[in-house]
Chains A and B, each alone.
Chain A
Amino acid sequence: MAKLLRVKTLSLRLRLYVAGNGPNSVLARANIAVICHREFPDAFELEIVDLLEFPLRALADGVVVTPTLLKLEPSPMQRIVGNLSDGPQVVLALHSA
């Protein structure tokens, strides 16, 4: 049962767009790391994309501001804008379908 759940939750795939070491970007990176390790231990995949290095990827993903967190899987895709300081709200958004 637990194994099944794990397989199921393993599908949490996140992409965080940041802008270098901007203060909100640093904050967002730290916040999402804490949330993932606490809420989805070993069941997530987090990619961090620096807007300054890969602006075109941001455009492709329709990201216009950073930091922006994309929940790619499970679908539907969600985007959360901001430095992710409001932990409970972020967790709620990530759990929602």
Chain B
Amino acid sequence: MIDSAPADVLVLERRLTEAEATVKALLSGEIDAVVDPRNNSPVLLAIAQQALRESELALRKSEAEYRQIVESTTDGIIKIDRVGVITFANARLAEMLGYTPLELVGTSLLEIVAPSERPAVHRSLDEREHGSTIALDTLYRHKSGAEISVSVAGSTLRDDQGRFEGLLGVVRDVTERKKLQAQLIVSDRMASVGTLAAGVAHEINNPLAAVMANLEFIEEGVIRLQSSEPIDRKTEWLQEQIADPLRDAREAADRVRFIVRDLMIFSRSSSEEPKQAVLVNDVLESSLRMGWNEIRHRADLVKKLGDVSYVTVNQARLGQVFLNLIVNAAQSLPVGRSSEHTIHVSTYQSGGMAVIEVRDNGCGIAPETIGRIFDAFYTTKEVGVGTGLGLAICQRIVTDMGGTLTVTSTLGAGSTFRVCIPTGPDSCIEPCIAAAAQVSSQTGRILVVDDEEIIARVVRRSLGAAYDIMAASSARAALDLIEAGESFDVILCDLMMPMMTGMELHKVLLQSAPDQASRMIFMTGGAFTDEAHQFVADSSVGHIEKPFSLDVLRSRVHDFVLTRQQVT
């Protein structure tokens, strides 16, 4: 007993140690299985753990799948906590912003939001606690500082108790889409401006024709008065008091005429963009007049226009290119101190090319940006000044003409833009040189067909001395006269009239009175339809543009009557 007692104690102690070790092993998870001695079979913790491991593997697998989805999506995915700290960012979002996902996690959402949008985002974060979904367009900031337009859609995250935990958002880069939208808006606006300008030009040309012709008529009267003897006090008064204001009024009217004509050049944008042989220098002069307002406060203008052949292009587009280059040159110079700056505009012929150069001695273009100036939407001008479309469009237009638009620039010394356009064979268009007015003793009958009675009155006033003038206020009325047996040497007819146009009248007369049809001269005031444009361009009929000078009107009518009389 005495001997066995320590042995028993030893055994007990050992069993106790073993039990403790077993419990410890159980607690630390080092056990796979436990045997239940009561039914002689092991209860397998092992199986439980195996199952646990399997479910863990399955979980990891599905997590990997989700991760793959999240990382391979083309949208950015962001998760922020309730105070706006980023807790997750996928690779796409990081790429969009120029960071790595790790750089983004832990920073504030406000860090990646453009400064201008921060107050709004901050405010909406506060409100988010109550909402459940998000849909907003905002601006994020790339690591480089560039702003990115994004569209964010997502939802609020809540815990089991419904407490606000943060936000999960899908971020889509819509910068390109926004640019396209802006482009559409701009071209849309340009189209409406063009349509509007064409309409305005047409509306202005009729009264302007009357103003100009009447002014000219008065001037002629004054001149006649001056040359008549004897000079009494009234004549003296007229010379002193009327001649100068009259000349000023004519100059002003001339300017209106140029403005309207320039507007029309820019608004003539039919779907086919008709091409014609144009004189480069004429188009350039017209653009210079339009851009003069921009130039005159900033620089002296030096023109050196050489002999350049015709180019066969769309005149409106060429004018647009020139105006753009001129305005750009002007805008590179500060307002004021115009004597210190010069804009050189020169043209010359080089081989088969017409070369047009616009040179300024302004700020020049930095070497790092010169490669981008022809990119659409690239602009260094302030918001509202430039759309960044001008040069891009210019280059496209010039390229379409088979030409080139190039630039050379020295920073601080100025830039030179050079347009080269292939010159076509000298063709159809002869410059219209107004023949000297010949108010001869020639007589004839003239019918004026115009819905603007003021035009008929002007024609009567200026040609009434030499011709027998009749007026019809509509094509219908003219047709009635002719059908009633009236016959005319010249029919001056407005092209665009309500009810029945000049073209329709011409068509009817071709059938019923071909001789009268051949005596028509069309007066055009702009706002061409494609059909009208074709009519004037293709047809052998004569036409005269409103507003016209009396000299031109007289010489055209005179020539017309002369040729007709020779023919008959």
Contact = CB atoms under 8 A, between A and B. Distances in A.
Interface of A: 18-20, 22-25, 51-52, 55-56, 58-59, 63-67, 76, 79-83, 85
Nearest to A66: B33
Contacts of B14: 76
Contacts of B34: 64-65
A83 B32 CA distance: 9
B40 interface: yes
A30 B50 CA distance: 19
A82 B35 contact: no
A36 B163 CA distance: 58
A67 B42 CA distance: 12
Interface of B: 14, 18, 21-22, 24-26, 28-35, 37, 40-42, 44, 46, 49-50, 53
Contact of A23 (B28, B35, B53): B53
A65 B33 contact: yes
Given A51-B33, A51-B35, A66-B31, A19 B25 contact: no
A81 B40 CA distance: 20
A83 B35 contact: no
B21 A19 contact: no
A82 B26 CA distance: 8
B35 A64 contact: yes
Contacts of A20: 32, 46
* Main secondary structure on B side of the interface with A: mixed
B32 A19 contact: yes
Given A63-B35, A65-B22, A80-B21, A22 B30 contact: no
A79 B26 CA distance: 15
B21 A22 contact: no
A56 B37 CA distance: 9
Contacts of B50: 22
Given A22-B50, A55-B35, A82 B44 contact: no
A55 B18 CA distance: 20
A32 to B, nearest CB: 13
B22 A23 contact: no
Given A22-B49, A23-B49, A55-B35, 8 more contacts: A19-B32, A22-B32, A55-B42, A64-B34, A67-B31, A82-B24, A82-B28, A82-B30
Contacts of B24: 81-82
Which of A24, A63, A83 lies at the interface centre, i.e. has the most chain B CB atoms within 10 A of its CB? A24
B32 A56 contact: no
Contact of B40 (A24, A56, A79, A82): A56
A63 B53 CA distance: 25
Nearest to A76: B14
B42 A24 contact: no
B41 A55 contact: yes
Contacts of B41: 55
Nearest to B30: A82
A52 B32 CA distance: 11
A71 to B, nearest CB: 12
B21 A18 contact: no
Contacts of B32: 18-20, 22-25, 66-67
Closest 6 CB pairs of A and B: A22-B32, A19-B33, A22-B46, A82-B25, A82-B30, A19-B32
Nearest to B32: A22
B37 A19 contact: no
25 contacts: A18-B32, A19-B32, A19-B42, A23-B32, A24-B30, A51-B42, A52-B33, A55-B35, A56-B40, A58-B35, A58-B42, A59-B37, A64-B35, A64-B37, A65-B31, A65-B33, A66-B32, A66-B46, A67-B31, A67-B32, A76-B14, A81-B22, A81-B31, A82-B21, A83-B30
Contacts of B30: 24, 67, 81-83, 85
A83 B25 CA distance: 8
B35 A24 contact: no
Contacts of B25: 65, 81-83
B18 A65 contact: no
A20 to B, nearest CB: 6
Which of A64, A79, A83, A85 lies at the interface centre, i.e. has the most chain B CB atoms within 10 A of its CB? A64
A52 B45 CA distance: 12
Nearest to B36: A64
